[in-house]
Amino acid sequence: MNIKHNDCLHFSNIDAAKGICRLTGNIVEIDSDACASYDKKAKCKFCKNFTEESTDGIGTCVGLKVNDWVYGELNAVTCSSYEEK
């Protein structure tokens, strides 16, 4: 899996293209490669309850009361059912 900056816990989003690295204070592009200090952010694509992912990044969430489709890039930092794969 290609790890991007917005997969990192130290990344503070600014917009669809960039954010701030909390460790360095620098502006970084989302799509540039994460560095050695990378720390995984909770996202559906990293969760055990994310299954049946299709090519467009949409799969199924089986972790909540009712199963439903979900997309892998969705942040899960506020999800109590998040379980890292």
Partner 1 sequence: MSNIKTPSERARGLRDIYYMTLSTTDMEFPYWYNRKWKELDGEVTVVRRAMALKEAFSRITPNILPGEKLVMQKTYNYRGSFPMPWLSEGFFIAKEDDLFKEVENAANASADELSEFGQGGGNVTKSFGNVVSIAGKFGMRKEEIPVLVKIAKEWTNKSVEDLGRKYEQMVPNYQMKEDIMKTLICMFDSGYTLPQGREVINYYYPLQYGFDKLKEMAIECKSVVAGNAHGDGILGMERLYFYEAVIHIIEGLQNWIGNYANHAEELADKTQNETLKKEYTEISENLKWITHNQPRTFKEALQLSYALHIAVLNEDAISGLSIGRLGQVLYPWYEQDIAEGRITREEVLELMELYRIKITAIDCFASTGVVGGVLSGNTFNNLTLGGITKDGQAACNELEEIILESGVSCQTPQPTLSVLYDEKLPESFLLKASECTKTGSGYPAWMNNRVGIDFILDQYGEEGMDIREARSLAIGGCLETSPCCWKELTLNDKKYAVPGGAGQPTSVGVHFVSNPKILELVLTNGYDKRTDIQVFPPHNKELATYEELVETFSDYYKVAVDILAKTNNVQHDIWRKHNMSVVNSFMKPDCLDKGQHIGNMGYRYNATYNVESCGTITMVNSLAAMKKLVYDDKKYTLEELKNAILNNFGYKNALETGNYSMATQIKEDGITEWDKIHSDCINAPKYGNDDFYVDSILKDYEEWFCDMTREVESLFGKKMYPCQISVSTHGAQGAATLASADGRLSGTTFSDGSMSACPGTDKKGPYAIFNSATVWDHSRSQNSQLNLKLHPSAIVGAKGTRSLLDLTRAYMRKGGFHVQYNVLDSNTLIDAQSKPDNYRDLMVRVAGFTQYWCEIGKPIQDEVIARTEYEGV
Judged by the rule CB under 8 A, the positions of this chain that interact with partner 1 are: 12-17, 20, 22, 25, 27, 30-31, 56-58, 65-66, 68-75, 77-79
Q: Which is nearer to partner 1, 31 or 48 (CB)?
A: 31
Q: At its nearest, how many Å lie between partner 1 and the CB of residue 85? A: 19
Distances (CA, A) of 30 to 14, 60, 67, 80: 10, 25, 30, 26
CA-nearest of 46, 38, 47, 45 to 8 is 38
Q: Which is nearer to partner 1, 13 or 48 (CB)?
A: 13
**Cα-Cα-Cα-Cα dihedral sign, residues 84, 27, 29, 70:** positive
Q: At its nearest, how many Å lie between partner 1 and the CB of residue 41? A: 9
61/6 Cα distance (integer angstroms): 21
Q: At its nearest, how many Å lie between partner 1 and the CB of residue 48? A: 19
